[in-house]
Amino acid sequence: MISGTHRPAQIIIDRQAIKTNIQTAIAHLPAHTELWAVVKANAYGHGLLQVAATASHAGATGFCVAILDEALALRQAGFTEPILVLGITSPEYASLAATQTISLTVGSQAWLTAALAQLAKAPAANPLKIHFAVDSGMGRIGFREPTALAMAEKMVRQHSQLELTGLYTHFATADEADSAYFKQQVHHFKQFKKALKTLPRYVHVANSATSLWHQACAGNLVRLGVALYGLNPSGSDQALPYPLQPALNLETELVFVKQVTAGSKIGYGATYQASQTEWIGTVPLGYADGWQRRLQGFHVLVAGQFCEIVGRICMDQFMIRLPQKFPVGTKVTLIGQNGGQTISLQDVANFAKTIHYEIACNFTDRLPRVYLPEN
């Protein structure tokens, strides 16, 4: 998608906030515990390569991504740190991953068999590094029985083309106050650990939520995801043990301002009707940028005042009701601070009845990212 560099709308990323969040998280980790930055999905909409560079400067010793292409992009950009692909990668790319020293997630013995066949056809100079994923209760990917895990370990030990470097699981409810199911998953994971004859270099269970509220079972590696970007994994359901600094702001300008009379209709479907003489401003972005159509009725900030979104959000524009006439070019803040008031990603998510992860990840490349420097 083409970036809109000639349009007054941009996402501003505070790299110092990201750096501070990582350094704060590291300061709270148990001894001998590494932090790997989760930079999947274009670093949760913040920018893959820029966030990875900041994370490396801040002390992250590795990266986690969702798909092999994200890992390859990091390698092509010159990052040499360990990289783990958290999703299941087709075995046909086993040799490619091995050549690039990228660790792949394995959740079945059948995958290992297929990968070995590929490595036999296209041998790599390096063994393929793998992390065993355990389904301790998430129900997504991973070994579901300790006996199956033990058989897979035996298979890996018999083939020099494979190198077991990690064992991990993912918790379904680590961000919830009720820890009953979380404790069940911890118990199940311990049974899987016992099934292995030798534990690999990395044993990790901690995503952001686990690292924040369940440090006792953090293993020796934390996969820091949404907290890296200054966001509370639970939304607002649980208080944070230490402060986080949100890194993303979304700003634009008024591109058109008009006064309408009572009864005037605004937008597709004429879903808004002015109740009196009103000032209406047009904002130059829409759902094609990731500002979702369901945000009609929400608000933005203009000169420190909350201005309601009126009418349906269009693909490329939306309209707001202004308290007074403002000149074209006046700053409009969709996410961030303006005139002493703040709109957070969580505020947007609450209105949209979703989570802030989705809001951040939905911002498209048409919105250019501007990066504030680290200190």
Query: Could you identify the residue written with the tokens 């030990």?
Result: 157
From CA 338, how far away is CA 230, in angstroms rounded? 19
Is 93 a known active-site residue? no
Mean pLDDT (whole number) for 108-119? 98
Which tokens is 61 given? 């010793």
How many CB atoms are located within 10 Å of the residue 92 CB?
13
The class that CATH gives domain 248-372 is: mainly beta
Judge whether residue 218 has pLDDT over 90: no
Rounded Cα distance, 236 and 184, in Å: 24
Once rounded to an integer, what is the mean pLDDT over residues 342-357? 98
Catalytic option among 154, 190, 194, 268? 268
Task: Kindly tell me the number of DSSP H helices and DSSP E strands found in the chain.
Answer: 11, 20
The pLDDT tens digits of the residues spanning 175-201 come to: 998 999 999 999 999 999 999 999 999
What percentage of the chain reaches a pLDDT higher than 90? 96
Is residue 94 over pLDDT 80?
Answer: yes
**Residue 124 predicted with pLDDT over 80:** yes
So what's the pLDDT on residue 345? 98
Write the DSSP symbol of residue 251.
E
- CATH 2.40.37.10 domain extents, the chain: 248-372
pLDDT at 270: 97
pLDDT in tens, 57-93: 999 999 999 999 999 999 999 999 999 999 999 999 9
The whole model's pTM is what?
0.95
315 assigned binding-site residue = yes
In the chain, the N- to C-terminal Cα span, in Å, equals 31
Catalytic residue chosen out of the listed positions 19, 40, 168, 287: 40
On the question of pLDDT at 53 being above 90, the answer is yes
Tell me how crowded residue 141 is: count the other CB atoms within 10 A of its CB.
Answer: 17
Q: For 142-177, how does the pLDDT look when each residue is reduced to its tens digit (9 = 90+)?
A: 999 999 999 999 999 999 999 999 999 999 999 998
Contact call for residues 302 and 330 (beta carbons, < 8 A): yes
> Which residue carries 């947007």 as its tokens?
348
Give the CA count within 13 Å in the CB-facing half-sphere of 225.
23
Mind listing the pLDDT tens digit for each residue in 243-252? 999 999 999 9
pLDDT band at 240 (very low <50, low <70, confident <90, very high): very high
Pairing of strands 278-283, 265-266: unpaired
Q: CA 148 to CA 107: how far, in whole Å?
A: 10
Q: Which residues contact 76 (CB under 8 A, 6 or more apart)?
A: none
The whole-number pLDDT of residue 219 equals: 86
**Mean pLDDT over all residues of the chain?**
96
Q: Are residues 272 and 297 in contact, defined by beta-carbon separation less than 8 angstroms?
A: no
CATH class of domain segment(s) 32-229: alpha beta
Per-residue confidence (pLDDT) for residue 335, from 0 to 100 = 98
Q: 307 near 300, Cβ under 8 Å?
A: yes
Reply yes or no on whether 353 is catalytic: no
Q: Is the pLDDT of residue 1 over 80?
A: yes
pLDDT-derived band at 361 (thresholds 50, 70, 90) equals: very high
Check residue 187 and report its DSSP letter.
Answer: H
For the cut 70, the answer to whether the pLDDT of residue 38 exceeds it is: yes
pLDDT at 360: 98
Residue type for 94, please? Answer: A
216 pLDDT more than 70: no
Q: Give DSSP secondary structure letters for 307-358.
A: EEEES---SS-EEEEESS---TT-EEEEEEEETTEEE-HHHHHHHHTS-HHH
Could you report the per-residue pLDDT of 263-318, keeping only the tens digit for each? 999 999 999 999 999 999 999 999 999 999 999 999 999 999 999 999 999 999 99
Q: Is 269 exposed, middle or buried (0-12, 13-18, 19+ CB in 10 A)?
A: exposed
